[in-house]
């Protein structure tokens, strides 16, 4: 499974681990894969602190950073992050804010310690994501940048590549893979609809081979439904050069999630996820609960577009993460995860997950080889 992208990044296995937890980033890279830190939700100062810690603990190993610069969003234009946020708040109906706050209050979720109810833009725009990108580019051990929503702007692609790093982006449709290729990206993450977070409608086993064909010779990483080595082998057999994983790392020993959040994930089946716009304004797969169902009712507000819905829900994201075990918090908590959650039913160490993926991959490959007829 040692592919060309492994050579470029200096990693042992083509296992990419998207996570918001710095400890998992380090543990994956030390186990032979490559950890990719999700920067959304961090301020530039917070991201600096996270990357300082990673640089201190990861040794000489590589890691990546994932940012979000959507191609289209409400309020696009040339503004400072501060001015953009002020203008965007003017576009948010008070009824949406009141409805979100009531859902949190009814579930007994405590207010934020300083009493504020505004988490900000969370890096969902070019104006807010650019400072995060610039911080990542100061780190020599950061060897790749991924954009989670659409093709990055041309100037950002050039900036990243001129720094000697790889730049890639996620896609959920074949036409997006073609657009990434035309933009000159170094790799493409093809995420099927089974995947957690923002994903398209097309299933993984349908999307992967089409994306590989459309993007060639650009390497494609498979995402959406990768929970074991058998699924990894399936992706590699379709021409993918590696796997981009996320849900697998939410419940590992090193993950910082509160026990109640881990319990919700470990208890969930693959049928317990839903694709909803209720948190970010774009379709996102997560555990379904009272929050996701409430925004779907005919007598409640419709979810706004990105990033407006993120302004409405941002306070809920931080409060349900901090107070995950309080009251009925899990009934309204934001738990983005893929359908592979049904395969995750116990806590493992990060190293054990990597070892299991590789072992299962080899065992599955041997089984496939055993099905081939013996040469006469």
Residues 130, 188, single domain; the answer is yes
Residues 149, 221, single domain; the answer is yes
pLDDT digits (tens, 9 = 90+) for 267-294: 999 999 999 999 989 899 999 999 999 9
Residues 192, 304, single domain; the answer is no
Residues 118, 128, single domain; the answer is no
Strand duo 34-38 + 15-19: pairing: parallel
Q: Which domain holds residue 59?
A: 1-73+124-259+343-371
Q: Does pLDDT of 203 surpass 90?
A: yes
**Cα–Cα distance, 128 to 131 (Å, whole number):** 6
Q: Does pLDDT of 360 surpass 70?
A: yes
Overall domain count for the chain:
2
Indicate the range of 66-80, 81-95, 188-202 predicted with least confidence.
66-80
Residues 303, 282, single domain; the answer is yes
Could you tell me where the DSSP H helices lie in the chain?
Answer: 4-9, 22-30, 44-57, 81-89, 94-106, 126-136, 154-162, 174-182, 204-215, 229-237, 259-267, 290-294, 308-322, 350-370
Q: Which pLDDT score is estimated for 30? A: 98
Residue 131 lies in a domain: yes
Residue 376 lies in a domain: no
pLDDT digits (tens, 9 = 90+) for 208-233: 999 999 999 999 999 999 999 999 99
Residues 298, 316, single domain; the answer is yes
Token couple for 243: 């796997």
Average pLDDT of the chain to the nearest whole number: 93
Residues 156, 45, single domain; the answer is yes
**Cα–Cα distance, 101 to 266 (Å, whole number):** 28
Residue 201 lies in a domain: yes
Indicate the range of 70-84, 116-130, 185-199 predicted with least confidence.
70-84
Whole-prediction pTM: 0.92
Per-residue pLDDT, averaged over 94-118, amounts to: 91
Residue 224 lies in a domain: yes
- Output the domain CATH number for residue 174: 3.20.20.70
Under the banding of pLDDT at 50, 70 and 90, the label for residue 149 is confident
Q: Does pLDDT of 118 surpass 80?
A: no
Would you list the DSSP string of 118-180? ----TT-SHHHHHHHHHHHTT-TTEEEEEESSSPPPHHHHHHHHHTT-EEEEEESSHHHHHHH
CA-nearest of 320, 318, 310 to 85 is: 310
Q: Which pLDDT score is estimated for 340? A: 97
Residue 326 lies in a domain: yes
Instruction: Please state, for a pLDDT cut of 90, what percent of the chain lies above it.
Output: 82
Residues 222, 326, single domain; the answer is no
Residues 6, 108, single domain; the answer is no
Residue 322 lies in a domain: yes
Residues 161, 308, single domain; the answer is no
Residues 236, 141, single domain; the answer is yes
338 against 69, higher pLDDT: 338
Residues 99, 69, single domain; the answer is no
Residue 56 lies in a domain: yes
291, burial (CB in 10 Å: exposed 0-12, middle 13-18, buried 19+): buried
Residue 264 lies in a domain: no
Percent of the chain as helix, strand, coil, to the nearest 5 = 45, 15, 45
């Amino acid at each position: 499974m040692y592919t060309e992208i492994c050579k470029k990044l200096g990693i042992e296995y083509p296992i990419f681990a998207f996570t918001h937890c710095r400890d998992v980033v380090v543990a994956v890279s030390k186990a032979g894969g490559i950890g990719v830190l999700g920067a959304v939700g961090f301020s530039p100062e917070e991201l600096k602190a996270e990357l300082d810690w990673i640089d201190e603990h990861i040794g000489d190993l590589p890691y990546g950073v994932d940012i979000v610069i959507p191609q289209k969003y409400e309020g696009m234009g040339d503004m400072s992050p501060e001015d953009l946020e002020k203008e965007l708040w003017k576009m948010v109906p008070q009824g949406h804010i009141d409805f979100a706050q009531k859902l949190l209050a009814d579930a007994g979720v405590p207010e934020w310690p300083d009493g504020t109810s505004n988490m900000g833009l969370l890096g969902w725009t070019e104006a807010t994501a650019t400072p995060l990108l610039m911080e990542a580019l100061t780190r020599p051990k950061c060897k790749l940048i991924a954009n989670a929503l659409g093709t990055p702007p041309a100037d950002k692609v050039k900036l990243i590549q001129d720094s000697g790093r790889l730049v890639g982006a996620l896609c959920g449709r074949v036409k997006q893979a073609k657009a990434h290729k035309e933009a000159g990206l170094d790799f493409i993450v093809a995420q099927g609809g089974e995947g957690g977070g923002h994903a398209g409608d097309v299933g993984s086993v349908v999307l992967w081979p089409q994306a590989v064909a459309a993007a060639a010779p650009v390497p494609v990483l498979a995402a959406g439904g990768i929970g074991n080595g058998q699924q990894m082998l399936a992706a590699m057999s379709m021409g993918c050069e590696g796997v981009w994983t996320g849900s697998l790392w939410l419940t590992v020993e090193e993950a910082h999630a509160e026990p109640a959040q881990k319990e919700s994930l470990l208890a969930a089946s693959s049928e317990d996820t839903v694709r909803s716009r209720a948190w970010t304004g774009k379709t996102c797969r997560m555990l379904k609960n009272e929050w996701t169902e409430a925004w779907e009712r005919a007598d409640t507000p419709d979810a706004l577009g990105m990033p407006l819905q993120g302004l409405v829900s941002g306070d809920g994201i931080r409060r349900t993460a901090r107070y995950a075990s309080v009251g009925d918090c899990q009934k309204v908590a934001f738990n983005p995860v893929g359908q592979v959650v049904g395969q995750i039913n116990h806590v493992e160490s990060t190293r054990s997950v990597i070892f299991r993926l590789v072992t299962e991959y080899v065992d599955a490959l041997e089984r496939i080889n055993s099905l081939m007829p013996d040469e006469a």
